[in-house]
Amino acid sequence: MEEKQVEKISKRSSKFKAFFITSIVLCVFGCFLVFIFLWYGGYVKEFVCNAVKQDSLIWTKSNCVTTTSEQDSTKQFPLEPTIQLGQNINSNEDATVESVVNSTNGSVVGIGLVNTANDSANQIIGSGFVISKSGLIVTNRHVVEDESSKYYIAFKDDTNTVEISSTNIFRDPVNDIALIKIDNNQIPSNVKALVLGDSDNLNLGQTVITIGNPLGKYSGTVTKGIISGLNREVTITKGFFSTQKEIYSDVIQTDAAINPGNSGGPMINLNGEAVGINFATVEGASNLSFALPINRIKSRINELEENGKFRIPYVGVEYKSKVMFINNQTIIGSEIVSVIDKSPAQNAGLLKGDIIVDFNGSSLESETLLSLIQKTTIGSKISMVIYRNNQQKTLEVIIGER
């Protein structure tokens, strides 16, 4: 009996020791967790800093700092808003835009279609702008495309309109531009001629202004945006089931709003210079419109003054841009989509599928084929380097006149 009682006491003692040790371990572990929480929560540091004197060793080692009231902190570190309510951060640019619009808006005109039917009113179908007090007005060729129709010009006040003789419209179908010539006394005395800028000196992000007659009824509408892209290629489809395509290269992309009726109006920089001719927008997309570089009209102006007509260099090919990989090198060229019958290109032996990589010594990597052709003298003989079936050939082409 005594042995059994001793055994029971021994077992109870062992269980008590195990329970006691476990409780101590859990208590220590719990205290450790509480200390960690208080330490990382900053409570330990705050207690120590409040318990010791300032500038003591413990104070310094604990990186204690003197707290200030919210009022004192505000005095030491005044918080001022970067932009105050009602402040216009674009005030300088806005003032410049207003000044440019005031000085150029009167130069923009409406291009109207004369309806011959007695029950139909005349209708504004596009825009244009005066570039010379001698009577020159710029617009798009597609605005005055129909040579059998009668057109008129409406100046800003809408009371002064001038009917245009069909013989006084000079069209450039390659570049979609047109010049209209009227008598200088038909231009109101308060209308200024727009200064032509340099479209070869444009930068991405540059602010531009467009003025025109959207939908043919909101005359003198002003929109502002930036140049979103340069050297774009735009394909315009037209005709029955959009079977006809016209490709325009080196055009300017902008996010300024351009709508039907804006075609032919000016794109203006902040110096008040016309740097582009608005001509196209993408349906179903936002802020995606295009303008033709103003430099394209300059040579046409000189031709009109010297010859009384446009003289347009002509090769006779339709093409699209093409990137080739030859001998581990990337080469940009122009792939011929079609060759026009009896054209200089056909006479020189150019074929559909040929890829032009060099035009008279100039690479097509920095300039498009269209711009190189337009810079060439009519009647001159030039060389073209092409690839046909991966074989390089050199052909000679005599530049014609369209």
The count of C-alpha atoms lying within 13 angstroms of the C-alpha of 6, restricted to the half-sphere facing its C-beta, is 3
Q: Is residue 127 classed exposed, middle or buried when 0-12, 13-18 and 19+ CB atoms within 10 A define those classes?
A: buried
What is the distance between the alpha carbons of residues 294 and 158, in angstroms, rounded to a whole number? 26
Taking the C-alpha atoms of 286, 211, 232 and 280 in order, what is their torsion angle to the nearest 10 degrees?
70
Query: Is residue 263 flagged as an active site residue?
Result: yes
Q: Is residue 45 classed exposed, middle or buried when 0-12, 13-18 and 19+ CB atoms within 10 A define those classes?
A: middle
What is the distance between the alpha carbons of residues 344 and 400, in angstroms, rounded to a whole number? 6
Alpha carbon 192 to chain centroid, angstroms: 28
Check 107, 127, 142, 289 and give the catalytic one.
142
What is the distance between the alpha carbons of residues 130 and 180, in angstroms, rounded to a whole number? 9
What is the distance between the alpha carbons of residues 114 and 303, in angstroms, rounded to a whole number? 29
Check 107, 127, 176, 219 and give the catalytic one.
176
Structure tokens at 364: 């097509």
Q: Which helix (H) or strand (E) holds 392?
A: strand 391-398
What is the distance between the alpha carbons of residues 177 and 139, in angstroms, rounded to a whole number? 6
Instruction: Identify the DSSP state of 66.
Output: -
Amino acid in the structure at residue 320: K
Query: Is residue 183 flagged as an active site residue?
Result: no
Q: Which helix (H) or strand (E) holds 300?
A: helix 295-307
What is the distance between the alpha carbons of residues 9 and 26, in angstroms, rounded to a whole number? 26
Beta strands 123-132; 136-139: pairing state: antiparallel
What is the distance between the alpha carbons of residues 51 and 355, in angstroms, rounded to a whole number? 87
Q: Give the distance between the most distant pair of CA atoms in the chain.
A: 141
Check 107, 127, 199, 263 and give the catalytic one.
263
Catalytic residues: 142, 176, 263
